[in-house]
Chain A
């Protein structure tokens, strides 16, 4: 049992200070910008909630938000089941376990812009392996700098390549924690593989799957570097996701007010959806 001790605050203080320094100060700066207008020369005018209204009404923001939700939805619906399937078919013991784990974790440790550059090299027509295979061997016209559909497929496949391992490793950690007795009991009862999965493995993986889905949601919703390096948001605006658009407005055009308002809306959506996921997935535990 935990004991009540207010002096524990002293242990938390360094963390509080460091994170507050990093979180509160910038977020206050953003709030500050979001309600003001400036023409440079240190002159600021009170703007109220105009920027928020302008952003929420703008077609550009709505389009980017739509693309962002589509992207995240596709990522979750592909990576989560795929990750579970791979985790289920991995060996539970033996020398191949560490080999699998190290190789699978490798993509996650590559700097994000290198991931983008790597896929760029991989998919170039004539030069890249994938580009060559598609165009010259299979005869399918494939060029992601021209074709929006090809660009979408490429960023989705790239993200599956990059992050499915996270779901695999988490699910696998959940699976190996199930005692053998459960499977022996299921065998005696003559349970089908589906029933074993549905009633033993899936419930045991629930905690880790919650973490996996939450992490995958947050990271895919906030994705910036990889698609930026790979497609730059193009062709046209077809792969301009929210972060890419935000950086364009903030650091490209230096429209600080709208960019700040957009940042806050963006952050609020991420928080809200994360909270929704979290409450939905842990609903049964509370009962």
Chain B
């Protein structure tokens, strides 16, 4: 038994080494970093963190990331809840096909979607400014037909123009784009958890005179709150770590912290200490979230289907 615990210890040590190096680097001065190797910071400094906390382009990056990640988590879980309920309780025309189609969206390389998303959200801005009084559905179909036709709308010179209006460079754009892979995942996880709740619970509630919304909110939701937590955790995680789409859909106003970092890395040469400090700070939200759901993680990864 003793020998066996060596494997997890070694593995965790391997995981912690690069993280340690990043954290150690963030407390060093640029001089020390460039002058040679040192295992611990020789002249301990908080200068790198001071720069980040006093420069709006840096700390707004954090706020932007947290805003769109939270937005995405709320949207994904809220729309996934009724859908997962439908999949777990009812048979309906095309249910299996729909479920499978949802999952295929998880497989698409983000790179495939980066460019179309850019155009889509750029033009949605135009749509809103023109068709303010039409309903969502009309807007959707208008977009759909517009996108399917080989229309001149795509032309490159207009991109910048469209970009300056509406959804492009807003938190909502990123939050909606991340729904592409988070909604299918949330539906998948929630459906697994809901499948574990006996159907008798629903039926008893209806017999007792509960309306559906009241039953769903006051009885069903508390029963599967672990599932909601796990789904929210995964939405948070995948939205927090994704960069390609987030970067393509933002410029200044909603720019995520991760994108600020890439810019710094290239423009300011090698400000390694600053980069390390920013990197260290991006680990913290994840660590906090993971601490809260630690008991559900293993279960959530198994999607409640073990």
Contacts and interface: CB of A to CB of B under 8 A. Distances in A.
Partners in one complex: yes
Interface in B53-102: 75, 79-80, 82-83, 85-87, 89-93, 95, 98, 102
Given A109-B287, A222-B110, A270-B108, A15 B92 contact: no
A7 B105 CA distance: 24
A172 interface: yes
A112 B279 CA distance: 11
A117 interface: yes
B298 A101 contact: yes
| Overall SS of chain B's interface | helix
Contact of B109 (A12, A132, A222): A222
The prevalent SS among residues of A at the interface is helix
A21 B17 CA distance: 42
A138 to B, nearest CB: 14
A110 B262 CA distance: 15
A128 B291 CA distance: 29
A109 B275 contact: no
Given A2-B91, A136-B37, A36 B150 contact: yes
A5 interface: yes
A41 to B, nearest CB: 7
B302 interface: yes
Interface residues on B, range: 35 or more
A26 B116 contact: yes
Nearest to A273: B107
Interface stretch (A86-94, A140-148, A179-187, A279-287): A86-94
A267 B112 contact: yes
Contacts of A30: 112, 115-116
Contacts of A27: 116
Contacts of A270: 107-109
A42 interface: yes
A51 B83 CA distance: 39
Given A89-B7, A100-B12, A105-B297, A126 B116 contact: no
A15 B79 contact: yes
Interface stretch (A53-61, A70-78, A195-203, A247-255): A247-255
A200 to B, nearest CB: 14
Interface string A112-153: 111001110110001111001000100000000000000000
Interface string B31-47: 00110110100000000
B179 A18 contact: yes
Interface of A: 1-9, 11-12, 14-19, 21-30, 32-33, 36, 38, 40-42, 44, 85-86, 89-91, 98, 100-114, 117-119, 121-122, 126-129, 132, 136, 161, 164-166, 168-170, 172-174, 176-177, 207-208, 211, 218, 221-222, 224-225, 229, 242-243, 246-247, 250-251, 254, 256, 259, 263, 266-267, 270-271, 274
Contacts of B117: 22, 26
A135 B115 CA distance: 41
Interface in B287-303: 287, 289-291, 294-295, 297-299, 301-303
B147 A28 contact: yes
B111 A101 contact: no
B305 interface: yes
Interface of B: 4-8, 11-12, 14-19, 21-22, 25, 33-34, 36-37, 39, 75, 79-80, 82-83, 85-87, 89-93, 95, 98, 102, 104-117, 119-120, 136, 140, 143-144, 147-148, 150, 152, 154-157, 176-177, 179-180, 183-184, 187, 199, 237, 240-244, 257-258, 261-262, 265, 272, 275-276, 279, 282-283, 285-287, 289-291, 294-295, 297-299, 301-303, 305-306
B109 A243 contact: yes
B150 A118 contact: no
A25 B147 contact: yes
Q: Looking at B183, B184, B199, which has the most chain A CB atoms within 10 Å of its CB?
A: B183
B98 A224 contact: no
Nearest to A6: B92
A129 to B, nearest CB: 5
Given A27-B116, A211-B303, 8 more contacts: A8-B95, A15-B80, A22-B176, A29-B147, A42-B155, A102-B291, A106-B287, A109-B285
Contacts of B306: 173-174, 177, 207-208
A254 B157 CA distance: 13
B89 A267 contact: no
A105 B144 CA distance: 40
B89 A18 contact: no
B92 A9 contact: yes
Contact of B140 (A21, A85, A224, A225): A21
Contacts of B8: 86, 89-91, 100
Q: Identify the interface centre among A33, A117, A218: most chain B CB within 10 Å of its CB.
A: A117
